[in-house]
C-alpha cells in the first residue's frame, strides 16, 4: 500500500481503489499541522491510534484494508498520518 498526495488540478484523478483519509473522514488526523507542525502532529496521531483497543482499532481500520492507496493533502516528502495508517494496515496483513 502507498500514500498519494491528493491534488486540486483540473485533470488529476485518484487511482482506482485509493481512499481519501483526510478531513472530514473518520481517519483524519485530529492534530492539525498548522498548530503542532508535521512531526508532532503525526506523533500525536500515532499515540491516538495506539490508545485504541485492538478490537476498536481493527474495526476502525477495516474499511481501509481493500484500499490500493491512501490519499491525503500532505506533500510526499513530509510526515503524514496516512503513513501511520499504512503501517498499521500492513502490520495486520503480515
Question: Is a pLDDT exceeding 90 seen at residue 94?
Answer: no
Question: Is a pLDDT exceeding 70 seen at residue 93?
Answer: no
Question: Is a pLDDT exceeding 80 seen at residue 92?
Answer: no
Model pTM greater than 0.75? yes
CA–CA gap between residue 89 and residue 70 (Å, rounded) = 11
CA–CA gap between residue 75 and residue 78 (Å, rounded) = 6
Residue among 58, 50, 60, 69 nearest 93 (CA) = 58
CA–CA gap between residue 8 and residue 44 (Å, rounded) = 27
Amino acid at each position: 500500500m502507498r500514500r498519494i498526495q491528493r491534488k486540486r488540478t483540473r485533470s488529476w484523478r485518484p487511482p482506482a481503489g485509493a481512499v481519501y483519509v483526510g478531513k472530514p473522514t473518520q481517519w483524519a488526523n485530529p492534530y492539525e499541522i498548522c498548530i503542532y507542525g508535521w512531526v508532532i502532529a503525526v506523533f500525536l496521531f500515532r499515540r491516538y491510534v495506539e490508545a485504541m483497543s485492538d478490537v476498536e482499532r481493527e474495526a476502525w481500520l477495516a474499511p481501509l484494508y481493500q484500499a490500493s492507496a491512501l490519499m491525503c493533502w500532505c506533500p510526499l516528502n513530509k510526515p503524514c498520518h496516512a503513513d501511520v495508517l499504512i503501517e498499521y494496515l500492513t502490520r495486520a496483513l503480515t
